[in-house]
Homo-oligomer: A and B are copies of this chain.
């Protein structure tokens, strides 16, 4: 498979499309990003890698970080984690608070905000230096010690993240938040504000494509945990477009409002795209286009 050629072609074709998406504006700091960025990076199980466009420009990983926090908490706590968060798709696009209320404070899954905030609470409870330890976990997964938080994004989100404050307080009212709202959201806003590029993300997700093992390092993620995290990504990774992504792309993956998407074919490869303009469901417009074309052309799918 000539991945280099395929990525180059797709990058060219998709770049030629009118970019109808919009850069996320609800976090003011994210709204400053140039809409025209577009990068792709693929690394396969054999150690090869291929790129096209802005694959080494860093961006805010946002919700993609939920996979890292899930992996760390799952590795730490094992199946005890599932007493506080479920593994079902949320179905409802808009009303995560409503669902949370109906289901008495047990979030639908760890990849929506409410679930990720519960996972963050678990990490705040169990880690010695929560933010530092989590950052180190991500650096080790990516084998890159230069990865860091973007403090401007943290500050921006703290000032405007009222919906997340609402969620955390609602969780607290249901006794499903053990630390203070402030401590948990400080951690959560930091995890979302990690800045990475396509290459670093692809490297960090390698473990999920490779039964829990990094290319270079050991990780605490067990093979059957990697498998299950992939299952959760497939059913819950794209909000209310999860079914559509499974249907059109056919790979486990996770998107973020910073415009990044990571997807993977177990035992084969990880592919990361980045383009900040989002479609109406909140997923990168160019990224979705690129991934659909990629899996069609390479005829790769878990199905």
Q: Which A residues form the contact surface with B (CB < 8 A)?
A: 86-92, 94-95, 97-99, 101-102, 108-109, 162-163, 165-167, 169-170, 172-173, 181, 226-228, 230-232, 234-236, 240-244, 246-247, 250, 252, 266, 301-303
**Copies assembled:** 4
Residue of B nearest to A86 (CB): B243
Q: Which chain B residues lie closer than 8 Å to A244 at the CB level?
A: 87-88
Given contacts A109-B243, A165-B165, A235-B235, 18 further A-B contacts (CB under 8 A): A87-B243, A88-B242, A88-B244, A89-B242, A95-B102, A163-B170, A165-B166, A166-B170, A226-B303, A227-B303, A228-B247, A230-B303, A231-B243, A231-B247, A231-B301, A234-B246, A266-B302, A266-B303
- Of B87, B92, B240, which contacts A247 at CB under 8 A? B87
Top 6 nearest A-B pairs (CB, nearest first) are A91-B91, A98-B98, A88-B243, A89-B89, A166-B169, A230-B303
Q: Which chain B residues lie closer than 8 Å to A108 at the CB level?
A: 91
Tell me how far the C-beta of A247 lies from the nearest C-beta in chain B, rounded to whole angstroms. 5
CA A49 to CA B303, docked complex, whole Å = 22
- Of B89, B92, B227, B303, which contacts A231 at CB under 8 A? B303
CA A251 to CA B303, docked complex, whole Å = 9
24 A-B Cβ contacts within 8 A? Answer: A87-B243, A87-B244, A87-B246, A88-B89, A88-B241, A88-B242, A89-B89, A98-B98, A98-B101, A163-B170, A163-B173, A166-B166, A166-B172, A166-B173, A228-B303, A231-B243, A231-B246, A231-B250, A232-B243, A232-B246, A235-B242, A266-B302, A302-B302, A302-B303
Q: Which chain B residues lie closer than 8 Å to A241 at the CB level?
A: 88
Tell me how far the C-beta of A141 lies from the nearest C-beta in chain B, rounded to whole angstroms. 18
